């Protein structure tokens, strides 16, 4: 039997699901990978920091999957706008939602709607040239920036703001961001954690990198660090990360124009300002059973920009059960929403882990499909989808179109940079003619 599988989302979770399906069914599976953007690779293109190019090399693997027989990429097709879930589940034997978690979790404090408060999905999308955020107003005319959260996304945002434009010029950072950074007045970047150094979820490499920036120096308050003997109880990788934080408290600091202040044991309580952000009010915390508890002591951090890096939510889609508390689709542990409809990656388990964590997710969801789908609906689901999209005037892009866009971006790159991204869908479709 030939199985027709639609995977929604052309990011890591989508490609690892396709890879697992090909391993399981070989040439008897026909796979359509559908994405709302004309370009593939999701978080690799729009989430991974531009100065971490080596991580982006994994797209070569996804490309190989997409160039195999029986796998198609259909970009610029939005589920919910161009085609419904109900239509897809009617056509395909299995539909897998690998749409990631592209929306910011709300901070939920007074003043968080002031101009100058951004979520990391927006800010990261802006520097990575995601079409949704290319026109984001990012005002870097102020000295202070407050970055809320103690995860790797917070470090990514701090590092991009702290680097020189020369350090970033040879990356694929969006041209509009490089131009904005040229004019940046930012000199004090505050990374705010509601808990302490031991509870931070930075990884070793990301924390360590902050110690080697050309024009920025990281600072940790020595008093925020627990007694060094307590590091022994940490998992070895995490202990190494904490060792970096310790070095930021003790090593001599060279004079540099930008300071990255780690503000541990501070929870955000309000954003204040006249018409836009001028300060973030934080409350000192202490740990009780591992959780942050406010002490009532307030501090104001002067800043013109607040970036909340506190986690993400999956988009809702009409007809798909959603777990509002967790901000993701309601599925079982394997990703089964109901037989025929599945979720994988962040859309199933929330925004955590590395790119590679999505690989076992792909195998797990394919096992669920294999258990549920014992007979194919038959027919050519891809051809039926093409006809449906054509009848609605939707202009789907295919992998060959991506190769054209890729060559175009590479061709117009700054000297030494891998590419200069196209940052609007209209521009991309214009290049394709
Ligand atoms: P994360 O690691 O889960 O960190 C989220 C942070 O937000 C935590 O410190 C959390 O504090 C804090 N937080 C949540 N709600 C808050 C609130 N209301 N007020 C104050 N703080 C709040 O998530 P992430 O940084 O978004 O990263 C997502 C995943 O992508 C992670 O697995 C990360 O490692 C990965 N990633 C990896 C790289 C890389 O490898 N280079 C780069 C970027 C992202 P609590 O701990 O107290 O809840």
Co-location of 89 and 109 in the same domain: no
Q: Domain range for residue 424?
A: 3-102+314-432
Q: Look-up: residue for tokens 């202990």?
A: 239
Residue of 380, 359, 346 whose CA lies nearest to 23: 359
- pLDDT tens digits for range 138-197: 999 999 999 999 999 999 999 999 999 999 999 999 999 999 999 999 999 999 999 999
Q: Say which CATH number the domain at 425 has.
A: 3.40.50.720
* Statement to judge: residues 42 and 98 lie in one domain: yes
pLDDT tops 90 at residue 9? yes
| pLDDT computed for residue 178 by the predictor | 97
Indicate whether 191 and 303 sit together in one domain.
Answer: yes
Residues 129 and 263 in one domain: yes
The dihedrals phi and psi of 394, each to the nearest 5 degrees, come to -80, 140
3-state class of 321 per DSSP?
coil
Torsion, Cα 290 293 297 303, to 10 degrees, reads 80
CATH of the domain at 195: 3.50.50.60
Residues framing ligand 1 (Cβ under 6 A):
52, 107, 148-154, 156, 193-195, 199, 201, 203, 206, 267-268, 309-311, 351-354
Residues 71, 202: one domain? no
CB-based contact 71:15 (threshold 8 Å): no
**% the chain with pLDDT above 90:** 97
Atom of ligand 1 nearest to the CA of 201: 2
Q: Which of 282, 308, 334 is the last residue of a domain?
A: 308
Final residue belonging to a domain, choices 308, 333, 360: 308
Same domain, 74 and 185: no
Give me the pLDDT at residue 277, please.
98
**384 and 260 in a common domain:** no
State whether 22 and 110 are in the same domain.
no
The residue out of 279, 308, 337 marking a domain boundary is 308
Q: Are residues 344 and 359 in the same domain?
A: yes
* Distance separating the N- and C-terminal Cα atoms of the chain: 38
Give the model confidence (pLDDT) of 42-78 as tens digits.
999 999 999 999 999 999 999 999 998 899 999 999 9
Residue 1 has pLDDT above 90, yes or no: no
Confidence of residue 125 (pLDDT cuts 50, 70, 90): very high
CA of 384 to the centre of ligand 1 (A): 41
Task: Decide if pLDDT at 252 tops 90.
Answer: no
Atom 25 of ligand 1, residue of closest alpha carbon: 151
Whether 395 and 347 map to the same domain: the answer is yes
Domain count of the chain? 2
Rounded to the nearest whole angstrom, what is the distance from the C-alpha of residue 215 to the centroid of ligand 1?
Answer: 25
182 and 168 belong to one structural domain: yes
Judge whether residue 27 has pLDDT over 90: no
Q: Are residues 264 and 359 in the same domain?
A: no
């Amino acid at each position: 039997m030939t199985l027709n599988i639609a995977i929604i989302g052309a990011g890591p979770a989508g490609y690892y699901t396709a890879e697992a399906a090909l391993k399981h069914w070989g040439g008897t599976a026909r796979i359509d990978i559908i994405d709302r953007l004309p370009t593939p690779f999701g978080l690799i293109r729009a989430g991974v920091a531009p100065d971490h190019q080596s991580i982006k090399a994994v797209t070569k693997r996804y490309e190989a999957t997409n160039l195999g027989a029986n796998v198609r990429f259909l970009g610029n097709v939005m589920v919910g706008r161009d085609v419904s879930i109900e239509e897809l589940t009617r056509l395909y034997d299995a539909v897998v939602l690998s749409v990631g978690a592209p929306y910011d979790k709300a901070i939920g404090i007074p003043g968080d709607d002031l101009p100058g408060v951004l979520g990391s999905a927006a800010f990261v999308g802006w520097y990575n040239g995601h079409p949704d955020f290319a026109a984001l107003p990012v005002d870097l005319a102020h000295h202070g920036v407050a970055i809320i959260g103690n995860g790797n996304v917070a470090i990514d945002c701090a590092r991009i703001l702290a680097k020189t434009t020369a350090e970033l010029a040879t990356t694929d950072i969006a041209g509009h961001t490089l131009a904005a950074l040229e004019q940046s007045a930012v000199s004090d970047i505050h990374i705010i954690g509601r808990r302490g150094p031991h509870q931070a979820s930075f990884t070793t490499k990301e924390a360590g990198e902050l110690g080697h920036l050309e024009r920025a120096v990281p600072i940790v308050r020595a008093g925020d660090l627990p007694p060094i003997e307590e590091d022994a109880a940490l998992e070895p990788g995490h202990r190494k990360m904490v060792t970096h934080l310790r070095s930021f408290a003790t090593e001599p600091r060279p004079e540099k124009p930008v300071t990255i202040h780690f503000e541990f044991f501070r929870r955000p309580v309000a954003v204040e300002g006249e018409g836009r952000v001028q300060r973030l009010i934080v409350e000192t915390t202490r740990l009780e059973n591992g959780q942050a508890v406010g002490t009532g002591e307030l501090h104001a951090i002067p800043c013109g920009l607040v970036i909340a890096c506190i986690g993400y939510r999956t988009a809702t889609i009409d007809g798909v059960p959603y777990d509002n508390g967790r901000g993701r689709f309601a599925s079982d542990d394997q990703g089964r929403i109901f037989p025929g409809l599945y979720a994988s990656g962040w859309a199933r388990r929330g925004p955590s882990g590395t790119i590679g964590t999505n690989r076992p997710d792909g195998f797990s969801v394919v096992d669920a499909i294999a258990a549920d789908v014992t007979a194919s609906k038959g027919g050519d689901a891809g051809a039926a989808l093409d006809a449906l999209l054509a009848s609605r005037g939707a202009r789907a892009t295919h992998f060959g179109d991506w190769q054209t866009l890729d060559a175009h971006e590479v061709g117009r790159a700054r000297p030494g940079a891998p590419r200069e991204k196209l940052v609007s869908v209209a521009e991309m479709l214009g290049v394709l003619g």
